[in-house]
Structure 1
Amino acid sequence: MNKKYDVCAIGNALVDYEIEVEDQFFKENGVEKGLMTLVDEERQGVLLDGVQGKIKKKQGGGSAANTIFGLAEFGGKGYYTCKVANDSDGELYANDLIKAGIDSNLDPNNLHEGTTGKCLVMITPDAERTMNTYLGITTDFSKNELSAEAIKHAKYLFMEGFLVSSPTGLEAMKEAKRIAQENDVKVGLTFSDPSMVKYFNDQMKEVVGDGVDLLFCNIHEAELFAGVEGMEASKEAIQKVAKEFIITKGKDGALVFDGAAYHEIEPFPTKAVDATGAGDMFAGAFLYGITNGQSHADAGKLASAASSAVVSKFGPRLSKNHVEDVMKKIGR
């Protein structure tokens, strides 16, 4: 059966504010470096006041959104389910999806009352990104936003782990997974961030439930989820809950398990400027590859080159020229 979408994704819709800061800013403002921290609107406002003049760019983001944008940049067809408000950030978000050719549940002329979520993506000179997120209206992302039709007509459902921090988001994930499984749609999940596995491990395990078809994580997330240490123990633990999985290793590449064999994915060396969205891009390019006839090893190579390209510039998107460069690097 031909599917309308390669991937139907669900996630928190956030407008990313890309900001360059020094480590001193974290010390002065009590920000924990390298993690995603959920904050309230007042706290985010204080941080925004402290970075005026340092904002490099504003664009629609969120973990699963970045993955769907990555998929689209390589030519895949995606659907994105989310929740934004009828403010300027919400309109920007809805129009970003339309421009990228990504179908969604949003109607730019009929958005919800409220405040669209924002993520302050603070980038230090060592290229590490630290995120402080006010979820805004996406706190109430729920089963009501789901499109059963979009899920049924996709090859993969892809869910971001950040949704487990909200009770309604957790229920939406479980419902989306149920719809997918009942319609022979493969289920993909990303843990998204170590903080989600550390502080919401019970909820994450609820989502994983009887297992998923494809899991994306890094080694730290795998260790936290399974309560183990080291790559070997992590591989063994993740294999019990995911038919296929990818453990990313940053500058050291990634490990891909295709259900039968392991593939070491070599890194593409680059000068890192901004690590924002590296894992999301890896997932997007990988999903594009496996839904468009590539082997897991080849899809891993594409994903490695794509994530390398995205960290060499500011922001989680690739231009047409970047995509062409990636394809040349992998000999396509």
Structure 2
Amino acid sequence: MSQSRFDIVAMGDAIVDVIAPATPEFLRQHCLPVGSMQLLTPLEADHLYASMGVAEEHSGGSAANSMAGVASLGGKVAFIGQVADDQFGTIFRHDLTALGVHFDTPALEANADCPTGRCLILVTPDGQRTMNTAPGASHELVAGAVSEELVKASRILYLEGYLFGPDKPRAAMMEARKMAHAAGNETAFTLSESVIISERRDRFTRLIEEGGIDLLFCNDHEAKLLTGHDDVLAAEAALAAKVKTAVVTHGAAGASANRDGTRVMVPAVPIDEVVDTTGAGDLFAAGFLAAYTRDKPIEKCLETGAICAAEVISHYGARPEADLKELTEL
């Protein structure tokens, strides 16, 4: 696998993040619980966007953010995701490829009913983000758009839980997993967000129990929701029994990994101020994977993930601003 063209190819939402500060009162006025995630129609997104304050636009999407992070660490990565041929689609493609991520999925014809996906992110003064996503074209990804050559040329296939719900992209992901398995490559999966687990728990569980996942990423709350255990250590053990490597983040308490019957724990990296938690898990995964594909010890993988997560929560947006190579000394 050392001869692979890419370290990782990821499949996930192709989304442009629109980020703006917001007060708790603004969230209450729009019936948006702090720290929650909602799915919106394109029309609903238009209405919320019109009432937001001055915003910053950043290409986003969980798996795409992770690939941007790995690329900034010198990794060779690719992305498969669906955009439309519109302004946000152009922004997304430009931003991702400018970072060195290979992205050649053809765009869909521009359509007002199915534009490039947007995530309207409202950040309260405590750094918590409330996410309002209109997936649009992102959920139109089909199996025919997946390049078998690309999947087989990548050491790891990285799949995003956000995209595993809708029928079309889920079928595309399952087809890609078969391709990766046939090539002897590893498959990694991120649960993405606790709010989606209740409706997708059976699908996630089947995927894991069928032996389809080698490397699993989640936070402690997601681990408990998926396994049904109230105790996080029991939840970790349950996951570790079904995947080769189970990686669990614990917020300010750090992160852990269970592999080959051994649990390794590292502390979080302290920062002066939490500005915006958007992308914390995405960049943690980026750091872990960048070290993992260099065959570093699991503890070093966790430490690299923690450094990358700390960097991204120190500023607005889910893409790194500092030199991650210098920070991680990877």
Scaled by the length of structure 2, the TM-score of the pair is 0.94
Aligned residue pairs, count: 324
Paired letter, 2:305: A
1:112 matches 2:114: no
> 1:231, 1:148 → 2: CA distance?
37
Secondary structure, in 3 states, of the residue corresponding to 2:244?
A: strand
Tell me the secondary structure at the aligned position of residue 127 of structure 1: coil
Quote the offset at 1:42 in angstroms: 1.8
**CA 1:322–1:313 in 2, change beyond 3 Å: closer, same or farther?**
farther
The answer for the alignment partner of 2:163 in structure 1 is 163
* Secondary structure of the structure 1 residue equivalent to 2:265: strand
- Are 2:214 and 2:245, in contact at CA under 8 Å, matched by a contact in 1? yes
> How far did residue 209 of structure 1 move?
4.3
CA distance in 2, matches of 1:192, 1:241: 18
Deviations 1:59-95 (A, max 9, x none): 2110000000010011101010000001110011111
Question: Which residue does 2:30 correspond to in 1?
Answer: 29
Aligned equivalents of 1:209, 1:103: Cα separation in 2: 31
* 2:145 alignment partner in structure 1: 145
Aligned to 1:201: 201
Matched, 1:63 2:65: no
Q: What is the aligned partner in structure 1 of residue 88 from structure 2?
A: 89
Q: Which amino acid aligns with 2:132?
A: N
The more displaced of 185-194 and 114-123 is 114-123
**Structure 1 CA distance, aligned partners of 2:100 and 2:224?**
37
Choose the corresponding residue for 1:293, options 285, 288, 295: 295
Note the aligned Cα RMSD (angstroms).
Answer: 1.5
1:12–1:141 contact (8 Å) kept in structure 2: no
How far is 1:111 from its partner? 4.7
Distance in 1 (alpha carbons) for counterparts of 2:182 and 2:259: 23
- Which residue pairs with 1:44 in the alignment? 45
C-alpha separation between the residues in 2 aligned to 1:207 and 1:40? 28
Letter of the 1:144 counterpart: G
Residue of structure 1 in register with 2:75 after alignment = 76
Distance across 2 between alignment mates of 1:149 and 1:206: 27
Match of 2:129 in 1: 129
Q: Which whole-Å CA distance do the structure 2 matches of 1:209 and 1:169 have between them? A: 20
User: Is the 8 Å Cα contact of residues 19 and 121 (structure 1) preserved in structure 2?
Assistant: yes
Q: Identity of aligned pairs, percent? A: 30
> Aligned-pair distance for 1:32?
2.4
Determine the structure 2 residue equivalent to 1:302.
Answer: 304
Larger mean Cα displacement after TM superposition, 187-196 or 289-298: 289-298
Query: Which amino acid letter does the alignment assign opposite residue 140 of structure 1?
Result: E
Moved more, 98-107 or 282-291: 98-107
Cα distance between partner residues in 2 of 1:47 and 1:219: 31
Contact 1:158 1:189 in 2 (8 A): yes
Q: Structure 1 residue 325: deviation in Å?
A: 5.0
For the 8 Å contact 1:94–1:106, the answer to whether it is kept is: no
Return 5+ residue gaps in structure 1 as ranges: none
Displaced runs of 4 or more, over 4 A: none
5 Å matches for 1:310-329?
310-319=312-321, 321-327=322-328
Give 1:324 deviation, angstroms. 4.9
Task: Please report the TM-score for the alignment, with normalisation by the length of structure 1.
Answer: 0.94
Matches of 1:152 and 1:201 in 2, distance apart? Answer: 28
Partner of 2:261: 260
Q: Unaligned stretches of 5+ in structure 2?
A: none
Which letter maps to 2:198? K
Structure 1 counterpart SS, 2:132? strand
Q: Distance in 2 between matches of 1:66 and 1:259?
A: 29
